[in-house]
Amino acid sequence: MKFSSKTIEEMIDILSTLPTIGRKSAQRLTLFLLRQPEEFIQKFSETLVKLKKDIKLCSLCFNFTETDPCPICSSPERNKELICVVEQPDDVLAIEKTNQYKGVYHVLHGAINHLDGISVSKLKISELLQRAKTAKEIIFALNPSVEGEVTIHYIVSLLKNYPIKLTRIARGLPIGIEIQYADDATLLNAIENRTEIK
Amino acid sequence: MHINQIFFENIRNHRQTKISFEPSLNIFFGPNGSGKTSILEAISIGTFSKSFVTKFDQNIVRNSTDYYALEISVERENHTPATIYVNYTIGKPKVIREENGQALTSQSLIGRFPTVILAPDMRGIIFGSPSFRREFVDRIIAQTDKVYLNKLYEFRRILKQRNKLLLEISKGNYVGFDLLHIWTQKLIETSVFIIKTRGNFVIKFAPIFEKCFTELTNSNEFASFFYSPFNNNEINAELLQANYSDEIINLHLRSEFEKNAKRELERGQTLFGPHRDDFTILLNNSTASCVASQGQSKSILVALKYAEINYLKNSKQTKPVVLLDDIFSELDLNRVNQVLNILNNLNLQLFITLTEIDLIKPILINFETYSLFKVENGIVSKLDLFHKSKV
Ligand SMILES: [Zn+2]
């Protein structure tokens, strides 16, 4: 269906460019917004503008932040010689939720993906090489995809002459999954990446 | 295993169809376009996650609707029931669930309920391009080896990425030789696994096929099945000799990639690998596609499918279900009779479609139980059986 208003159509076009939002959902959201009071729309649009204006990338780890460096990079509690490399800011949130990791992060903003036009220069790789000069260990926590694998492989090849420890997070059985219900690939990975009992 | 029941909506010309099946023979007849093949397609989607007719789910959705849904109830060998639900809406990913609501990926469904399909275009396995033979082989391995299936998906992804990078380099857009090298490494790693698995599969499959062919033809003729990953018979023989050892596959793959390096950059395409593999079918030591008569090629095709059934039966805990689409377009009465008798003796559940019910009447006398369904404009009705006295 087509709306007679050009503005409504434009709004639907914009909203449907958002991830996981199809045209139908965009229509629903547009109609929802239309029914909201003036104050809500005011607040909504101000926040939207502020989001872009106030939030920037941390100049060290490239996570989203309002202050530069970000709270994690400027915290004296954090070990700056331990860098965990992730693909997206969401991954930082996920690891932070564990409350266990005491190092800092480096957000690449993706993984090498030629099909999606993500080349090496679009990722924060050269910045990572700079930081690696003063680090003792780099932990790779990229997604277990072929793109993630190749990105790790590529960065490791660039770091091969650095006096630094390179590690990656283990891939294995998720907690709570009984062995009989684990899928074969996960089980195989868990066996291949087994660790020694000391 | 056998399928107890299927219920589906909006598949091809079926609005809503619910059928309870016989654990042995199920026959669907009706004119072309009546919707009998769609029943087999629905079974294929419920057991293998996709149709054997098309790769595109939107082609299956009934005209003027935007989704299809199906529910298939299966009884396993140990009599435990299982139900699989598949829902597809155009423009969205297909959703597969099991009875407890747990979502399944295609990879985890494939192989749970093994199926063997014989459809009219499958003579391509003998006469068509290598892709027919690869699909034939991959389908069998995928249903018995989950790791292989996962590696195959991984391989396709790496291949796509590498091809895109090669294309960019060939257009001069991007200089990424260090990266290309890494993609090549990854491609070779997964290729070694795929070639090794296909090779070891053929070692087990070929003797089964040879035996099946002899049993079907009762003649002095013999047929054989070989794996030809390289365009060089000496290398292929060497790999077989070495039981497809990783090192030897790796060695030859590496040299192929080195040989093609320059041309790959010019063409912007991966020129060698398991995506170009072939298998050779021989009849009396000559390439079957060159020497086989109509009748011989039919025997080869039936023997391949018979071997597929035996292979799955041996390597899985469960017997496969067999779908024979438009059976008389491929086989004459004698062969149909032979095939149905063999499969009936194996106690397999069978689904066959045909246009004229009269064609099969003389054979049905030998069957104790079967179900007969008439299909017209997407509507299925169960008919009374022919009794020996009536024929
Ligand atoms: Zn930071």
Which residues on A lie below 8 Å from B185 (Cβ)? 153
Q: How far is CA A142 from CA A111, A116, A147, B130, in A?
A: 8, 17, 9, 37
Q: Is B112 helix (H, G, I), strand (E, B) or coil?
A: coil
Q: How far is the CA of B82 from the centre of ligand 1 (A)?
A: 51
Of A22, A154, A183, the CB nearest to B182: A154
Q: Tell me which CATH homologous superfamily contains domain A6-54.
A: RecR Domain 1 (1.10.8.420)
Q: Which residue has the tokens 């283990």?
A: A170
Which residues on B lie below 8 Å from A184 (Cβ)? 146-147, 150
User: According to the model, what pLDDT value does residue A22 have?
Assistant: 83
**Structure token pair of residue A44:** 């909504």
**Helix (H) or strand (E) segment spanning residue B295:** helix B294-315
Q: Do A157 and B178 touch (CB under 8 A)?
A: yes
**Mean pLDDT of the B179-205 span:** 97
Which residues on B lie below 8 Å from A149 (Cβ)? 186
Q: How far is B34 from chain A (nearest CA, A)?
A: 33
CB B28 within 8 A of CB B353: yes
Of B107, B176, B182, the CB nearest to A153: B182
Q: Which residue has the tokens 């790999």?
A: B239
Rounded Cα gap, residues A183 and B288, in angstroms: 40
Q: Do B182 and A115 touch (CB under 8 A)?
A: no
At B390, the pLDDT band (50, 70, 90 cuts) reads very low
Residue B267's nearest CA partner among B163, B160, B159, B375 is B163
Local structure of residue B128 (DSSP, 8 states): S
CB B235 within 8 A of CB B195: no
Tell whether domain A64-191 is in CATH 3.40.1360.10. yes
User: Strand ranges (DSSP E) for A45-117?
Assistant: 56-57, 64-65, 79-86, 103-107
Which residues on A lie below 8 Å from B150 (Cβ)? 184-185
Residue-averaged pLDDT of chain B: 93
User: A111 in contact with B at a CB cutoff of 8 Å?
Assistant: no
User: A188 in contact with B at a CB cutoff of 8 Å?
Assistant: yes
CB A135 within 8 A of CB A82: yes
Q: How many other CB atoms are found less than 10 A from the CB of residue B296?
A: 19
pLDDT above 50 for B40? yes
Q: How far is the CA of B308 from the centre of ligand 1 (A)?
A: 57
Q: How far is the CA of A71 from the centre of ligand 1 (A)?
A: 7
User: A112 in contact with B at a CB cutoff of 8 Å?
Assistant: yes
**What is the separation, in whole angstroms, between the first and last Cα of chain A?**
66
CB B366 within 8 A of CB B342: no
Q: How far is A125 from chain B (nearest CA, A)?
A: 13
**Mean pLDDT of the A106-114 span:** 97
DSSP A31-83: HHHHHS-HHHHHHHHHHHHHHHHH-EE-TTT--EESSSS-HHHH-TTSEEEEE
Residue B227's nearest CA partner among B256, B205, B250 is B205
User: Lowest-confidence range among A73-87, A110-124, A171-185, B205-219?
Assistant: A171-185
Which residues on A lie below 8 Å from B154 (Cβ)? 146
pLDDT above 90 for A33? yes
Rounded Cα gap, residues B372 and B382, in angstroms: 6
Name every residue in B having a CB less than 8 A away from some CB of A.
91, 107-108, 146-147, 150, 154, 157-158, 160-161, 164-165, 168, 174, 176, 178-179, 182-183, 185-186
**Mean pLDDT of the B331-356 span:** 91
User: According to the model, what pLDDT value does residue A3 have?
Assistant: 65
User: According to the model, what pLDDT value does residue B386 have?
Assistant: 66
User: A162 in contact with B at a CB cutoff of 8 Å?
Assistant: no
Choice between B107 and B159, residue whose per-residue pLDDT is larger = B159
Domain boundaries, chain A: 6-54, 64-191
**What residues contact A2, with CB distance under 8 A and at least 6 apart?**
A9
At A176, the pLDDT band (50, 70, 90 cuts) reads low
The pTM (predicted TM-score) of the whole model is: 0.89
Tens of pLDDT, residues A47-58: 999 998 999 999
Q: Do B179 and A146 touch (CB under 8 A)?
A: no
